[in-house]
């Protein structure tokens, strides 16, 4: 992980003279998976992996952007009447610029340099981090006050409409509004949120399985469609059901005969997961780590069995974690089909946990995992002026 003070020495010409530097974090979701696009509840935390954007003015309406990670430069014109996505990292930058302009923010031309240490494709929201850091930098640079909830919405729009991924609001929201030492309980319908203190004697340990199965994107959209199908069935009874957020477990059970089994199980995951998030928030507020951990375990089982978005490597990582001393809870985090697990581990057990889980996972799969003992961090902000 990179510190702001290290950046100047670390890259050639970083940041260029006259640049301002901003950074936005990645995230881990503690509980509340596949609920955001169902208007439900989520509980992510911002973690100390960041995307950094250095921005300097240009006199025209061009955005030129250099990625330190890909060692590649791209430029585009803010006045291009029909920008098209290219399935390229620069789509995030271009999509955000477009979403901002379309909602009335006239941007100034700029030179951007981007660097990220958020593991790419690991389910820790490297996309949201680049979107939010870029959006914040572009708005600030163009003289606008940044309203962070609005920024999160516009970054989500960029990802939905330009990049072409139908994600919910969770990742962009936490990258904007995270706070060090806190988890964030978010109501994805109203966008009301509450910051909750994380237990002091525990650490969040993220285990990267280092696999990403091809079907992830297709299955994500399929799950969304299955949830929508569930809503269509459940709304027929005349109740006011707009999303699965509006359905209780009792209603689901009483309507279960009318639902195809697979749709029933998808709905059961979402409805029970929403309830778990609220219980988990109450547990955190009471300081009940054991209860919080139990809910994390239940969430994994529901994702594995009802929502079917886990995979062999994630299940293995969770089982290995549960066999180790000091583990309160373990589950997959993010969209699924690979990526990472999140583990709530007793502080003094962390060193042993790291060593043993890495060894056991590698012994079984032949894959060397990456284990990150995380610090939580703040949402997007400016880090250096100069
Ligand atoms: C991805 C999406 C999020 C959310 C999670 C699943 O990370 O970007 O919006 O839907 O999957 O909880």
Each residue's pLDDT tens digit, 26-81: 999 999 999 999 999 999 999 999 999 999 999 999 999 999 999 999 999 999 99
Say what the pTM is: 0.95
**What average pLDDT does the segment 112-122 reach?**
95
DSSP one-letter code for 88: S
The question of whether 171 is a catalytic residue gets the answer yes
User: Is the pLDDT at 138 greater than 90, yes or no?
Assistant: yes
Atom of ligand 1 nearest to the CA of 33: 12
Q: With contact defined as beta carbons under 8 Å apart, do 12 and 369 qualify? A: no
* Residue 236 in this model has a pLDDT that exceeds 80: yes
For the chain, the average pLDDT equals 94
Comparing CA positions, the residue from 98, 65, 69, 96 lying closest to residue 81 is: 98
At 217, is the pLDDT very low, low, confident or very high (cuts 50, 70, 90)? confident
Q: Is the CB of 309 under 6 A from ligand 1?
A: no
Partners of residue 110 on adjacent β-strands: 57, 63
**Fold category of 202-374 in CATH:** Alpha-Beta Plaits (3.30.70)
Q: Which of 334, 338, 339 to mutate to test the pocket of ligand 1 (most atoms within 8 A of CB)?
A: 334
Q: Say which range, 47-51, 195-199, 214-218, has the weakest mean pLDDT.
A: 214-218
Q: Could you tell me which residues are beta bridge partners of residue 343?
A: 205, 330
Are the CB atoms for 270 and 246 separated by under 8 Å?
no
Task: Evaluate: CB of 329 within 6 angstroms of ligand 1.
Answer: no
The CATH number of domain 4-197+377-385 is 3.30.230.10: yes
Query: Ligand 1: does its nearest atom lie under 6 Å from the Cβ of 334?
Result: yes
Ligand 1: which atom is nearest the Cα of residue 220? 11
| CA atoms of 141 and 144, how far apart (whole Å) | 8
Output phi, psi for 228, to 5 deg: -65, -35
Pinpoint the alpha helices (H) of the chain. Answer: 4-10, 90-102, 126-141, 148-157, 170-177, 216-235, 249-255, 261-286, 289-305, 312-322, 350-365
* Residue 269 Cβ < 6 Å to ligand 1: no
Residue 12 binned pLDDT confidence (cut-offs 50, 70, 90): low
Determine what percent of the chain is predicted with pLDDT higher than 90.
90
State the pLDDT at residue 7.
Answer: 53
Residue 95 alpha carbon to ligand 1 centre in Å: 18
pLDDT surpassing 90 at residue 153:
yes
The ranges assigned to domains in the chain are 4-197+377-385, 202-374
The predicted-structure confidence for 249-284, as pLDDT tens digits, reads as follows 999 999 998 899 999 999 999 999 999 999 999 999
Ligand 1 geometric centre to CA of 171 (Å): 7
Indicate if the pLDDT at residue 19 is higher than 60: yes
């Amino acid at each position: 992980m990179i510190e702001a003070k290290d950046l100047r020495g670390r890259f050639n010409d970083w940041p260029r003279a006259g640049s301002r530097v901003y950074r936005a974090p990645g995230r881990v979701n503690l509980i509340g998976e596949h609920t955001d696009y169902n208007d439900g509840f989520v509980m992510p935390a911002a973690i100390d992996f960041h995307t950094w954007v250095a921005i300097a003015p240009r006199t025209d309406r061009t955005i030129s952007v250099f990625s330190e990670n890909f060692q590649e430069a791209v430029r585009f014109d803010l006045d291009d009447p029909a920008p098209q996505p290219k399935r390229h990292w620069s789509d995030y930058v271009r999509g955000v610029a477009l979403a901002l302009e379309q909602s009335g923010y006239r941007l100034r031309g700029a030179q951007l340099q981007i660097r990220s240490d958020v593991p790419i494709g690991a389910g820790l929201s490297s996309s949201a981090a680049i979107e939010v850091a870029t959006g914040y930098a572009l708005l600030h640079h163009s003289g606008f006050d940044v309203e962070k909830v609005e920024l999160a919405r516009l970054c989500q729009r960029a990802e939905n409409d330009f990049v072409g991924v139908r994600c919910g609001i969770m990742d962009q929201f936490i990258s904007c509004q995270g706070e060090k030492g806190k988890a964030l309980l978010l109501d994805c319908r109203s966008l009301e949120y509450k910051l909750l203190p994380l237990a002091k004697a525990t650490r969040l340990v993220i285990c990267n399985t280092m696999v990403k199965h091809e079907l992830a994107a297709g299955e994500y959209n399929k799950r969304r469609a299955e949830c929508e199908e569930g809503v269509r069935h459940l709304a027929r009874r005349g109740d006011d059901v707009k999303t699965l957020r509006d359905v209780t477990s009792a209603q689901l059970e009483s309507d279960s005969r009318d639902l195809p089994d697979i749709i029933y199980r998808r709905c059961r995951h979402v409805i029970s997961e929403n309830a778990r998030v609220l219980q988990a928030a109450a547990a955190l507020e009471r300081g009940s780590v054991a209860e919080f951990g139990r809910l994390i375990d239940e969430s994994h089982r529901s994702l594995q069995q009802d929502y079917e978005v886990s995979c062999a490597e994630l299940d293995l990582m969770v089982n290995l974690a549960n066999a180790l001393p000091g583990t309160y809870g373990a589950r997959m985090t993010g969209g699924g089909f690979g990526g990472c697990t999140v583990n709530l581990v007793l502080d003094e057990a962390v060193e042993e946990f790291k060593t043993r889980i890495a060894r056991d996972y590698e012994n079984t799969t032949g894959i060397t995992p990456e284990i990150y003992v995380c610090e939580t961090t703040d949402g997007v902000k400016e880090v250096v002026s100069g």
